[in-house]
Structure 1
Amino acid sequence: MAITAKMVQELRERTGAGMMDCKKALTETNGDMEAAIDLMRKSGALKAEKKSGRIAAEGRVVIKLSADQKKAALVEVNSETDFVAKDSNFVDFAESVADAVLASGTTDAAALANVKLASGQTVEEARAGLVAKIGENIQVRRAQVVDAGAGSIATYIHSNNKIGVALVYTGSDAEMGKDLAMHVAANNPAGLDESSVPADRVARERDVQLDIVMQSGKSREIAEKMLEGKMRKFLAELTLLGQAFVKDPAVTVAQLLKNKGAAVTSFVRFEAGEGIEKKQENFAEEVAAQAKQAGG
């Protein structure tokens, strides 16, 4: 079949390869785009790096448990769009990376790139191949292994696959553990207790609240007393043990644990894309700019 300029351009966008390499691959595969990509991967003409500059703020979180349920691996893999995050190839890749993290214990992103997957490819080889196939920047952003030690692990993955929690607890109530993992997913506590909240965050909040109280015309002495109450409330709402339990707001998580004779020793919460600045598209401005360019 005839190889059009549009076909060559599409393949260039998806692979980052040169025009002649793209045209050659399309010619040899009779215009089959996927076959051309595979051919270029085999010949080394494909370059996944072109996609690496794009913002990958969507994605999914995967959690894998060891057979004895004493270890859990959490992995966040990012894509540019939510559509790709639901693609079966992307899902399979994320799952395989989580398996590799659990098996190897490797969590450093740079080191993880060289870890082999069950397929025999390294994480980086599989990632680069997926970038070329799907046409989006894909990144393994972070990974963590949680060890239960003498305790137990409860996990929770939200229905959108974007939030995952692994929580280590003591006690025999597995249902409670699952509920608390769900609570962490919903309420996103900053830490386990007051001691786990960064000192600079506490100091910043104290300054803000003191200024607010002082503006009300109270004396410094009264303001300081009011401030203590405000800070206790602030820290309670910020920490897991101080928060009202999501399934029974009449009790705090600390009270729930005391009633159950249990304890939480740690938790890890991953949310896909958190902390990544997403590109904000203004489509009205984009259309106007294109119209202006076309007109002049």
Structure 2
Amino acid sequence: MSISAADVKKLRDMTGAGMMDCKKALSEADGDFDAAVELLRKKGQKVSEKRADREANQGLILSRISDDKSKAALLEINCETDFVARNDDFQEDAELFLNAAFDNDIDNKEELLELELDGLTVTKRLEEMVGKIGEKIEINNVVLVKSEGTLIDYIHPGNQLGVLVEFDGDLTNEDIGKDVAMQVAAMKPLSVTRDGVDSTLVEKELEIAKDQLLNEGKPEHIAEQAAKGKLRRFYEERVLLEQKFVKDNGVSVKEYLEQNDAPLVKSFHRLQLGEDS
């Protein structure tokens, strides 16, 4: 049957797919718009599978936080190129997924992917985006935090890095919270306190430090004591409350908070494009 230009344009407006793809889908569906949309979705799925081995390390990190600072969400959505990440449609869809996670109290990507929005699961919406844009697109991380204390979010310019910090109490000066969130962004701590550091990693650091000292000719007992000193420096570099405060190296983060009568940090989350959370 003959497919009019108006019908092709209508399908393109409905789906965002290319003109030729729309014309072909309408022809295969004998002019049935619902069937044509389904064909385009299937095409999107095929594109997604076809590009499954491609690297998707560009994209956006987005955050949303409640007015009372008691609930916050972080979302990482990935694509292949920065050009797509700057696309208005891509950004609107990313905001839609972030809001869906926030509004539905979703704290993992698997649950978000199964969520239905306006009749389509998030997985299907991603497949449609792939079919429309032609790049691999995936949601890599979803974080949701609820707190009886205070939550502060920070998104680094460019939306490639985002942080949520939970304070153990009422934080009256939000600037202090932003300072700590930027500390987490810049200095990549492993945990809030020493107790949060993986014991396997601690043992490995001790072993490395001890072996280095033994290789330098230090006696066993001296090497063991000196290794513990190196471990202290490791904690100062990788534990948030023990890190030197980036805006004043004369104090630790813990001392900075105490000097300003601010509650200590209870937890934090840091997402960066292309990194495991």
| Structure 1 and Structure 2 fold alike (TM over 0.5) | yes
The unaligned stretches of length 5 or more in structure 1 are 1-19, 29-36, 277-296
Q: Which residue of 2 aligns with 1:174?
A: 174
* 8 A Cα contact 2:47 2:131, kept in partner: no
2 CA distance for matches of 1:81 and 1:38?
31
1 CA distance for matches of 2:180 and 2:21?
54
Cα deviation 1:229-257 (Å, max 9, x = unaligned) = 10000111011011111111111101112
Q: Which residue of 1 aligns with 2:4?
A: none
Tell me how far 1:41 sits from its aligned partner: 2.8
Tell me how far 1:215 sits from its aligned partner: 1.2
Aligned residue among 48, 70, 83 for 1:51: 48
* 8 A Cα contact 2:74 2:142, kept in partner: yes
2 CA distance for matches of 1:110 and 1:229?
43
Cα deviation 1:186-241 (Å, max 9, x = unaligned) = 11111111111111111111111100011111111111121111000011101101
Q: Which residue of 1 aligns with 2:228?
A: 228
1:234-249 map, 5 Å: 234-249=234-249
Secondary structure (helix, strand or coil) at the match of 1:113 reads: helix
1 CA distance for matches of 2:179 and 2:229?
29
Which segments of structure 1 move beyond 3 Å, counting only runs of 4 or more?
A: 20-23, 25-28, 37-40, 42-45
Q: Which residue of 2 aligns with 1:272?
A: 273
Aligned residue among 162, 165, 172 for 2:163: 165
TM-score (normalised: structure 2): 0.82
* 8 A Cα contact 1:66 1:102, kept in partner: no
1:269 maps to a residue whose letter is R
Is 2:88 the counterpart of 1:88?
Answer: yes
1:41-120 map, 5 Å: 41-43=37-39, 45-52=42-49, 53=52, 54-117=54-117
* 8 A Cα contact 2:44 2:130, kept in partner: no
1 CA distance for matches of 2:21 and 2:175?
57
* 8 A Cα contact 2:151 2:166, kept in partner: yes
2 CA distance for matches of 1:116 and 1:257?
42
Tell me how far 1:46 sits from its aligned partner: 2.3
Tell me how far 1:109 sits from its aligned partner: 2.1
Q: Which residue of 1 aligns with 2:13?
A: none
Q: Which residue of 2 aligns with 1:195?
A: 195
Secondary structure (helix, strand or coil) at the match of 2:131 reads: helix
* 8 A Cα contact 1:89 1:130, kept in partner: no
2 CA distance for matches of 1:78 and 1:254?
34
Report which stretch shifted further, 205-214 or 167-176.
167-176
* 8 A Cα contact 2:192 2:267, kept in partner: yes
Q: Which residue of 2 aligns with 1:32?
A: none
The unaligned stretches of length 5 or more in structure 2 are 1-19
1:51 maps to a residue whose letter is S
Q: Which residue of 2 aligns with 1:218?
A: 218
Secondary structure (helix, strand or coil) at the match of 2:159 reads: coil
2 CA distance for matches of 1:38 and 1:232?
64
Identity rate, percent = 36
Count of aligned positions: 248
Tell me how far 1:90 sits from its aligned partner: 1.2
2 CA distance for matches of 1:21 and 1:158?
38
1 CA distance for matches of 2:22 and 2:93?
26
Cα deviation 1:253-280 (Å, max 9, x = unaligned) = 011122122211111111111149xxxx
2 CA distance for matches of 1:228 and 1:73?
38
Q: Which residue of 2 aligns with 1:155?
A: 153
* 8 A Cα contact 1:100 1:116, kept in partner: no
Secondary structure (helix, strand or coil) at the match of 1:47 reads: helix
TM-score (normalised: structure 1): 0.77
Q: 1:166 to 1:47 in 2, by over 3 A?
A: same
Q: 1:206 to 1:129 in 2, by over 3 A?
A: same
Q: 1:259 to 1:199 in 2, by over 3 A?
A: same
